[in-house]
Structure 1
Amino acid sequence: MKFGINLAPNVTPEEKSGGQVFAEFLELAELAEKLGFEHVKTVEHYFTSYGGYSPDPVTFLAAVAARTERIRLVTGAVLPAFTHPLKLAGKLAMLDNISRGRLEVGFGRAFLPDEFAAFQISMDESRPRFDEGVEACRRLWAEENVVWDGQFYQFGPVTMLPRPFQEPHPPILVATARTPESAEAAGVAGYGVMMVPSINKVEKVQDMLALYRKAYAGAGHPGEGQVHMTYNTYLSEDPEQARTLGKEYAENTHEKLLSAVTSWATTRSEQYRGYEQIAQKAKSSSFEDQIRETKVLVGTPDEVVDQVRQIREWFGEITISLQPTAGNMPLEESVRTMRLFAEHVLPRFA
């Protein structure tokens, strides 16, 4: 298994300023490399306390690239629906060169109705915009004199500069939250997948993984593909503190998620079947449920070892992104969580 960190700024301006958040995140990224973690990942969201400090993950990861030498950089994820593919492919190619080939590009469809409304883009165009954006970026990286005549964009012939550092292009991952067809399509294309186990039952995640791996193998790609999953994480050597503070920070993040998905109660889209239930499901989920169902990594180091073993039994040899910055967690708590994980959990899964 591989382990990295996901730095999602789930904070309000009253809790932390943007300057404070990114100073802390850069410190954590440098620490992650020193502790032996495999990657640093961050999100793209807008306007709300649920990730809204990160409208451009490329900007942040470029700063991480300048401060590190080894650790992989993962967009988790960039959103093609909101960016022209010429701009998106170009700035990602720049980051691949700045980092000398350490970039992995995660693409996502976006899922918050308020973001689509702000960009004046219909959610019913989500899937075709995503497919077109990913394929246009892939071709711009891998080919020269690209001519594109799509549903949403037309351009060319153009040759993207700079060319990607990695040939023919950086590894591609796609976010697949609830839709089995997305997992299957990623497998056929030979892409990795990024999944969020906290919003699905174990059996559904297993079914989606089985579809993905079968499609990946059936298309003739080597290995089993790449699977990323993200978990809120809090460790302490004191079990009572781990449970008490882990709950506090997880519930802080949960409240921000609830606020961000509120508009799903009145939103419907064929591109997002079942998403209208997200708000209600989020309200009914408790921290105790998440602990019982191993949807968070919270506890003493030994307890978290057992949790990771359970995840491996369910899902196989995957890549786990720890989220050590849940809610308004102080920097020193994030540092302690990462150090305890690196010292006591990482060696057990080397």
Structure 2
Amino acid sequence: MTTAIRPNRLRAGIFLAPFHPVDEDPTLAIRRDIDLIEHLDRIGFDEAWIGEHHSAGYEIIASPELMIAAIAERTQRIRLGTGVISLPYHHPLMVANRIVQLDHMTRGRAMFGIGPGLLPSDAEMLGVPVSKQRDRMAESLDVILRLIAGETVTEKTEWYTLKEARCQLLPYTRPRPEFAVASTFTPSGGKLAGRYAAGMLCVAASQQAGYDVLGTNWQIACDIARENGRTMDRSVLRLVAPMHIAESREQALREVKYGLNKWLAYFTAINPTASGDDLAAKDPAEAMVESGRAVVGTPDDAIAMLERLEKQSGGFGCILMLAHNWANFDATKRSYELFARHVLPHFNGSNIARAASLNWVRDNGKELMGKAMSAAAETVQKHFAEVAARQKN
């Protein structure tokens, strides 16, 4: 059991790709994504990161910036991130201008996750060589940060040209909005995070290959940052893991029958090596739980996974639950509520003082009650004495 308050409060959020089966109305699906983040804002979640994809039919948000603009007008406090902007698909000046505009529109609630682009089918349609995506991401990030810092940039590469380019607005957030680099299995994300003082989005933290390198990739970021005269703060390390929580494991397993198989079938289609074993299992949900890849169970099961991730990574600042639509919408919202009610307080020490106060009252109950009863008796005696005195007069 966690018995001490963390130096930094563990934050919670979601990573919304999103995942929507091709047998349901896409307009309603996008609206439900907005409704979900409004719900998370009400129950105290800290962050929501929204993806960018252009193919395969499931992950149907093409512009996370548009979603952030809409959701920001419907929420009060939750921070909203691009999860992620695929930098090789965009001219860097356009990205810089959109980032600065969103920073102003949200009054600093927007965050910017960046990556090379996940689906090779997206890159294929755009004529972007898959082998060059990571290099182009690094080129683009470098110039975007220079533009946001107010520099005038003239630069020509094999895929973009800038001629005395500059942002006409400086950021609302000074010196700049928060940036985070997607990290999976390779060290490229950690290198960029360390070089540019950005956070890390470990999008495969619970998958075995991603889990194995959590500590390594963070150390790479720390080493690169040190070479550049900076230190990394673990509060900007975010880990993504799929979870569905209910009051019992049996209930959780029943609820994910709603959509888990469709989700696994999609993953097998876009990456045949990613989840074929889970899909082929007699009970895919139990197979994912046994492998440690996911939580389908109770708040205690979620606590166990987070403690495992904390030990493996050395500590992190935010857990991002993968938004997956394994269960229906009502059960999904209840899952997030259970996480907020029972999992976060465990790590943040939210109830330490409450429990201590309750235990103190229990331990001293007889003495305290005795004093209360004595005080009541004295009050009664005083009353009758006053009555008697008035009657004599």
Q: Same fold (TM over 0.5)?
A: yes
**Residue in structure 1 matching 2:189, options 173, 182, 195:** 182
2:44 is aligned with 1:46: no
Q: Match of 2:221? A: 212
Contact kept in structure 1, 2:48 and 2:78, CA below 8 Å: yes
Structure 1 residues 233 and 297 mapped into 2: Cα distance closer, same or farther (>3 Å)? same
Identify if the C-alpha distance between structure 1 residues 141 and 9 changes in structure 2 by more than 3 Å, giving closer, same or farther. Answer: same
Counterpart Cα distance in 2 of 1:214 and 1:335: 40
Do structure 1's residue 228 and structure 2's residue 238 form an aligned pair?
A: yes
- Whole-Å separation in 1 of the counterparts to 2:248 and 2:221: 39
Q: How many residues align?
A: 330
User: Which of the residues 283, 308, 328 maps onto 1:310?
Assistant: 308
Query: Which sits farther off after the overlay, 251-260 or 115-124?
Result: 251-260
Once the 2 structures are TM-superposed, how far is the Cα of residue 59 of structure 1 from its aligned partner?
0.5
Change (3 A) 1:281 1:24: closer
Q: Aligned partners of 2:192, 2:99: CA distance in 1, in Å?
A: 23
How many Å apart are 1:321 and its aligned residue?
A: 0.8
In the alignment, does 2:128 pair up with 1:121? Answer: yes
Residues 71-96 of structure 1: per-residue CA shift (max 9 Å, x gap): 11111101011111121111121111
Amino acid at match of 1:253: W
Output the CA distance in 2 between the equivalents of 1:281 and 1:24.
Answer: 27
Deviation at 1:250, TM superposition (A): 3.5
Q: Following TM superposition, by how much is the alpha carbon of 1:306 offset from its aligned partner in structure 2, in angstroms? A: 2.1
Structure 1: which 4+ aligned runs deviate by more than 4 Å?
A: none
- Residues 198 and 290 of structure 1 are in contact (CA less than 8 Å); yes or no, is this contact kept in structure 2? no
1:238 aligns with 2:231: no
Q: How does 1:64-103 map to 2 (within 5 A)?
A: 64-103=71-110
Q: Which of 24, 27, 33 pairs up with 1:25?
A: 33
Gaps of 5+ in 2: 1-9, 279-283, 349-393
The answer as to whether partners of 2:48 and 2:81 remain within 8 angstroms in 1 is yes
Indicate conservation of the 8 Å contact 1:175/1:193, yes or no: yes
After TM superposition, the structure 1 = structure 2 runs for residues 1-350 of structure 1, keeping only pairs within 5 Å, are 1-15=10-24, 17-51=25-59, 53-195=60-202, 196-201=204-209, 202-225=211-234, 226-246=236-256, 249-261=259-271, 279-285=272-278, 287-315=285-313, 316-327=315-326, 329-350=327-348
After superposing the two structures, state which structure 1 stretch, 90-99 or 317-326, moved more: 317-326
Taking only aligned residues, the RMSD between alpha carbons, in angstroms, comes to 2.1
Alpha-carbon distance in structure 2 between the residues aligned to 1:190 and 1:30: 30
Could you tell me how far apart the structure 2 residues matched to 1:124 and 1:81 are? 11
Deviations 1:4-36 (A, max 9, x none): 122222113422x22211221112111111211
| Letter paired with 1:283 | G
Q: Could you tell me how far apart the structure 1 residues matched to 2:189 and 2:333 are?
A: 35
| TM-score between the two structures when normalised by the length of structure 1 | 0.87
Q: Which amino acid aligns with 1:14?
A: D
Counterparts in 2 of 1:241 and 1:57: CA distance versus 1, 3 Å: same
Report Cα offsets for 1:79-138 as digits up to 9, x if no partner: 011111121111121111110011111001113221111111111221221112111211
Indicate the structure (1 or 2) with the bigger Cα radius of gyration: 2
Question: Given that residues 216 and 224 in structure 1 are in contact (C-alpha distance below 8 angstroms), is that contact kept between their aligned partners in structure 2?
Answer: no
Aligned-pair CA distance for 1:209: 2.4
Could you list the runs of 5+ residues in structure 1 that have no partner in the other structure?
Answer: 262-278
- Mapped to 1, the partners of 2:323 and 2:118 lie a distance apart of 23
Deviates more, 1:292-301 or 1:282-291: 282-291
